[in-house]
Amino acid sequence: MDVLAEANRLKAAGNNVLSLAVGQPGSPAPQGVRDAAAQAALHAPIGYTDALGRADTREAIAQHYADHYGVSVSPDRIAITTGSSAGFMLAFLAITEPGGRIAIAAPGYPAYRNIIKSLSLEAVEIPSGDASSSVFDLDALLAAHRTKKIDALMIASPANPTGATVSKAELTQIIEVCDREGISFISDEIYHRLNYVADDLTALSVSDDAIVINSFSKYYCMTGWRIGWMVLPQNMVRTVERLTQSLYICAPEISQIAAPKAFEATTSLELIKDGYRANRALLMEELPKMGITFAAPPDGAFYAWCDVSKHTNDSMVFAKTMLREIFVAAAPGVDFDPINGNRYMRFSYAGNHDAIAESIERMKNWVSV
């Protein structure tokens, strides 16, 4: 956020600031979503819905699992949330008591750690794979669990900031270990449909006991609509319903009405994904030429997690200097990994291709100075 604040200040001063930092699509929501929202705003009595969400929205999501994954999910197990962030909070609260321990991958999305701490829980950061593998370090998880009970493990595939994905064999092994050890398994699938090397894999294809969290934010270009969902084991549904009633009543109804139209927009959304794919190819070709190497395989999402230790041992200084001198913003690794992140940067390729190409040109000239 410090880097973004400085980027905004420089932009307001008239500088041509380019961003490889923002983790959101540059495109608006699909036209059908916007049209449905406009009609609802004019004609629907927008108000509170059931805490778990509108029945038609939950049914549309259930149908999506059948169509996209070939998995049967009852709408009764689906909870509509205010983005995936609410899903994380609801899952943690439903599973744990104060002082409980949630295992997450390092590097990982910073809000995981912050939400866990804000709920009086302990975040246990487990090393994930390296540049040649996406394997989650199960031995490290078990060692932490033997020291003190882990209540839940949450992993994302594709992951933020690495873009790494987990194979079905790996996911099956992880879930089997969690089941054996009495650890709840939470799958963050917010970057599904943004996989460039394989088909999407939902944890529900391995286990009905997995807690799945997803959102319309990323692939569907609906970050500001604040609508996501959870798929829950049947025995958690009532707990999540009661928590939702108390915490925020329901997700915004206008978003619930409009969101299912996103499932009908695959043609236009795939064109946007083609843009990400081209941006990804550009980064994969050009960054190594600068001595900036990939620290994890960028198989999905729209991020590259890169080792910049050839140029710096302080990624925050690197980010601020790059912004100040060539007006290119990127995310320093310390947010995603407080221990080793000083050597890494996250570059987002969610933006406009021409702007990303220009960012790369500026960086090439800068790092060679």
> Each residue of 323-355: pLDDT tens digit?
999 999 999 999 899 989 999 999 999 999 999
Residue 133 predicted with pLDDT over 80: no
Which CATH number covers residue 189?
3.40.640.10
For residue 106, tell me if it sits in a domain. Answer: yes
Q: Which amino acid is present at 179? A: D
Q: Are residues 231 and 285 in the same domain?
A: no
- Number of domain units in the chain: 2
Q: Greater confidence, 132 or 291? A: 291
User: What is the CB neighbour count within 10 angstroms for residue 72?
Assistant: 10
pTM for the whole structure: 0.94
Residues 217 and 78 placed together within one structural domain of the fold: yes
- pLDDT at residue 135 in the model: 62
Mean pLDDT computed over every residue of the chain: 95
Q: Are residues 309 and 347 in the same domain?
A: yes
Pairing of strands 303-307, 293-294: antiparallel
Residues 173 and 83 in one domain: yes
Give residue 360's domain range. 2-29+266-367
Q: Do 288 and 243 share a structural domain?
A: no
Indicate if the pLDDT at residue 129 is higher than 90. Answer: no
Judge whether residue 134 has pLDDT over 70.
Answer: no
192 and 236, same domain (yes or no): yes
The backbone torsions φ and ψ at residue 15, rounded to the nearest 5 degrees and listed phi first, read: -85, 150
Last residue of a domain, one of 264, 296, 331: 264
Domain match, 107 and 251 both: yes
Distance of CA 85 to the CA centre of its chain: 10
Final residue belonging to a domain, choices 213, 240, 264: 264
- Per-residue buried b or exposed e for 78-100, using 16+ beta carbons within 10 Å of the residue's own CB: bbbbbbbbbbbbbbbbbbbeeeb
**How far apart (Å, rounded) are the C-alpha atoms in residues 74 and 66?**
10
Give the pLDDT confidence of 265-321 residue by residue, as tens digits: 999 999 999 999 999 999 999 999 999 999 988 999 999 999 999 999 999 999 999
Element (DSSP H or E) covering residue 87: helix 83-95
